[in-house]
Amino acid sequence: MTKESGRLALLLSGRGSNLGAFLRAQHSGELEGSVEVVISNRPEAAGLKIAQDAGITTEVVDHTLYASREAFDQVLAQKIDEFKPDVIVLAGFMRILTAGFVDRFRGKLINIHPSLLPKYRGLNTHQRALDAGEREGGATVHFVTADLDEGPGILQTPVSIEDGDTAATLASRVLPFEHRLYPYAANLVLTGQVSLGERSALWHGETLPPGGKLWRPS
Ligand code: GAR
């Protein structure tokens, strides 16, 4: 990577399949930046091994060692700052972040959520979509703000729900879409094509709807 390309810090708690997608996008040149560090709050996260195998620096900030969310977030923020990232990518990072942390990285902090936000914030998104009789599930990349899963959407991709779908089958069909959506959306932020406005994401300066721009991979 050249010095001019963007720097990413990627935070995860588990499997790391989205990390894998970022690494593929980095190597293909689709991502105009590089993952400089992978940080996990869980020492046993499988995603750490993916990073190590790719030669990427890994760090663990184990949340169980801190007495409060504030104390954990303080150490996490200091660790992130060491790497001077332009964008911080939450990829299956399953911790609620404090307002202080989120404000410190305002406009640089993005997340992927497995639903068509603003629908189904929180957990068990696919099951809740099925229970509600939805015909579509999907995933959304959004800026992170202090309210859980309520930050302004950047891009979202719908995935059809089929007869007989379970939460597991739907999750496994949505995941490959996540892998294409997330590096693409991160690149828009890295390159300044999308930014965080007062209350919404801005696409080349134009206000986006709450869930972000609808995106279907070509
Ligand atoms: C992904 O499906 C992501 O959308 C979800 O966790 C999974 C992580 O998978 N994130 C959330 O639910 C955040 N609320 P991965 O570790 O294989 O990338």
Q: What is the pLDDT of residues 169-218, one digit of tens each?
A: 999 999 999 999 999 999 999 999 999 999 999 999 999 999 999 998 77
State the CATH number of the domain containing residue 59. 3.40.50.170
Q: Is the CB of 14 under 6 A from ligand 1?
A: yes
Query: Residue 211: inside a domain, yes or no?
Result: no
- Confidence band of 1 (pLDDT split at 50, 70, 90): very low
Q: Which domain holds residue 100?
A: 1-105
**pTM exceeds 0.85:** yes
Known active-site residue 63 = no
Query: Residue 77: inside a domain, yes or no?
Result: yes
Closest ligand 1 atom number to CA of residue 174? 2
How many angstroms separate the CA atoms of 68 and 190, rounded?
Answer: 32
Query: Which of 11, 12, 13, 17 is the pocket-test mutation for ligand 1 (most atoms within 8 Å of CB)?
Result: 17
Per-residue pLDDT at 217: 79
Query: Residue 205: inside a domain, yes or no?
Result: no
pLDDT per residue as tens digits for the range 125-160 = 999 999 999 999 999 999 999 887 889 999 999 999
Residues 187-195: contacts with CB under 8 Å, at least 24 apart: 187/25, 187/30, 187/31, 187/32, 187/33, 188/154, 188/155, 189/87, 189/108, 189/110, 189/154, 190/6, 190/8, 190/31, 190/32, 190/33, 190/86, 190/87, 191/6, 191/32, 194/154, 195/107
182 CA → ligand 1 middle, Å: 11
63 CA → ligand 1 middle, Å: 18
The percentage of residues in the chain with a pLDDT greater than 90, rounded to a whole number, is 94
The total of structural domains in the chain comes to 1
205 CA → ligand 1 middle, Å: 29
Name which residue sits closest to atom 5 of ligand 1, judged by CA.
92
Q: Is the CB of 173 under 6 A from ligand 1?
A: no
pLDDT per residue as tens digits for the range 16-64 = 999 999 999 999 999 999 999 999 999 999 999 999 999 999 999 999 9
113, 126, 142, 179: the catalytic one is: 113
Name which residue sits closest to atom 6 of ligand 1, judged by CA.
92
Could you tell me which residues come within 8 angstroms of residue 8 by beta carbon, excluding any fewer than 6 positions away?
Answer: 22, 31, 33, 34, 35, 36, 85, 86, 87, 88, 89, 186, 190
Task: Flag whether pLDDT at 2 surpasses 50.
Answer: no
68 CA → ligand 1 middle, Å: 24
Query: Residue 114: inside a domain, yes or no?
Result: no
Q: What is the DSSP string of 114-126?
A: SS-TTSS-SS-HH
Query: Residue 181: inside a domain, yes or no?
Result: no
How many angstroms separate the CA atoms of 86 and 105, rounded?
Answer: 10
Query: Residue 176: inside a domain, yes or no?
Result: no
Query: Residue 159: inside a domain, yes or no?
Result: no
Name which residue sits closest to atom 17 of ligand 1, judged by CA.
17
Query: Residue 162: inside a domain, yes or no?
Result: no
